[in-house]
Structure 1
Amino acid sequence: MTTSTHELAHRANDGISVTMSWDAVTDRVTVAVTDSKTDDAFEVVVAPGERAMDVFHHPYAYRAVREDRSGARLVQTT
């Protein structure tokens, strides 16, 4: 089976796992974060004009910005 989602980058430290993926069908880049210590998990869709690696390295900052804007592209997964 072929998948349209491809992992671009992954890092993990102190119970926090961050994965950046690209969906070839939608051409969308998403950064997913899971924190095994707090059971918090969320995804941030990289918006047009944003630098994907910045979102990957600072997902909590981008999450806060998304939560402050109306119409934000933030998906809470837990």
Structure 2
Amino acid sequence: MSDFAIEDFADPLRELARRVTGGVEVTLYWSPHDNSTTVEVWQPASGELLVFDVPPERALEAYYHPFAEFAPSFDELVPVADA
């Protein structure tokens, strides 16, 4: 077994990008095993962690706008009365 194969098995995800904005850390990962991409959103203050898969062609968009992945379509929005 080559050294590359051992390293690949030990660390299956490759970190492609990481940023911290407003106390939230966002990391983009790629898996060489299946070419999948994953975005991880972590808020250290609360300890909350959100991890989701995203199609590779949308990985960079999801990295820069991770919460947009969970936004409903405009058809699903419910109007809120003015206060």
Select which of 12, 16, 24 maps to 1:8.
16
The 4+ residue runs of structure 1 with deviation greater than 3 A are: none
Aligned partners of 1:64 and 1:42: how far apart in 2? 15
Structure 1 SS opposite 2:46: coil
Equivalent pair of 1:44/1:63 in contact (CA under 8 Å): no
CA RMSD, 1 decimal: 1.8
Residues 8-27 of structure 1 aligned to structure 2 (within 5 Å): 8-27=16-35
* Corresponding pairs, count: 64
Partner of 2:81 in structure 1?
none
Select which of 19, 28, 36 maps to 2:44.
36
Q: Deviation of residue 61 (structure 1)?
A: 1.3
Aligned partners of 1:44 and 1:60: how far apart in 2? 11
Deviations 1:43-66 (A, max 9, x none): 121126x4211100111110345x
Higher helix share: 2
Higher strand share: 1
Partner of 1:47 in structure 2?
55
Bigger Rg, structure 1 or 2: 2
Aligned partners of 1:63 and 1:33: how far apart in 2? 13
Identical-pair percentage: 31
Unaligned runs of 5+ in 2: 1-5, 73-83
Equivalent pair of 1:7/1:19 in contact (CA under 8 Å): yes
Aligned partners of 2:62 and 2:26: how far apart in 1? 10
Residue type matched to 1:54 in 2?
E
